[in-house]
Amino acid sequence: MYVIDGGKGLRKALRTVFGAWALVHRCHVHKLRNVAEHLPKHRRAWVRAAMRKAWGLKTVKEARQKLTQLAAQLEDEHPGATGSIREGLEETLTLIQLGVTGALHRTLCSTNPIENLMGSLKRVTRNVKRWRGGKMAVRWAVAGLVEAEKRFRKIRGHRDMLQLVAALDAVCTANKVDTKERVA
């Protein structure tokens, strides 16, 4: 499972490299931000709350229905927001489809964990003024990862990881993905 923002290049790369293996979940934080960009300030909080409420529902069918209703409500006055809600809607429901709830859901519903890691790498490498080849970049990247590791904590909801793995295995089985196949 891959948690990504709305970048089309990321999606294409995932499909190209991993094919049927790529189960994509769209970052809720990025999706909320993208929808809010199309709304006047006085409507943003209400729409964000409605979207969060939909993502908190137990079934994909209920969540899809709530998000579709929200898009329909906004369609006449805010077609950009409607388009943003509908674009990638199914991918915002991946965690619900897998049955991920609670703390693990809060951890995996956004790209924040990887963005925190990238921030650590940026902080460690910010004083390098002249990069002298790939080996130097690798050394600094490793140094950044070692520094970031000091601040790593266990994943919130880690006790539910076995359920997530079982759900991912079930999706692989249903999609007839060969789990022995190696990706180049």
Helix intervals (H) in the chain: 8-18, 28-36, 41-55, 60-74, 79-86, 94-98, 102-108, 112-125, 134-149, 161-174
Look at the pTM and tell me if it is higher than 0.95: no
One pLDDT digit (tens) per residue for the chain, 184 residues: 889 988 888 888 988 998 877 888 999 999 999 999 999 999 999 999 999 999 999 999 999 999 999 999 999 999 999 999 999 899 999 999 999 888 888 888 988 888 888 888 888 888 888 888 889 989 988 988 888 888 777 778 888 888 888 888 888 777 766 655 555 4
Q: What are residue 25's DSSP bridge partners?
A: 3
Provide DSSP, 15-56.
Answer: HHHHGGG--EEE-HHHHHHHHHTTS-HHHHHHHHHHHHHHHT
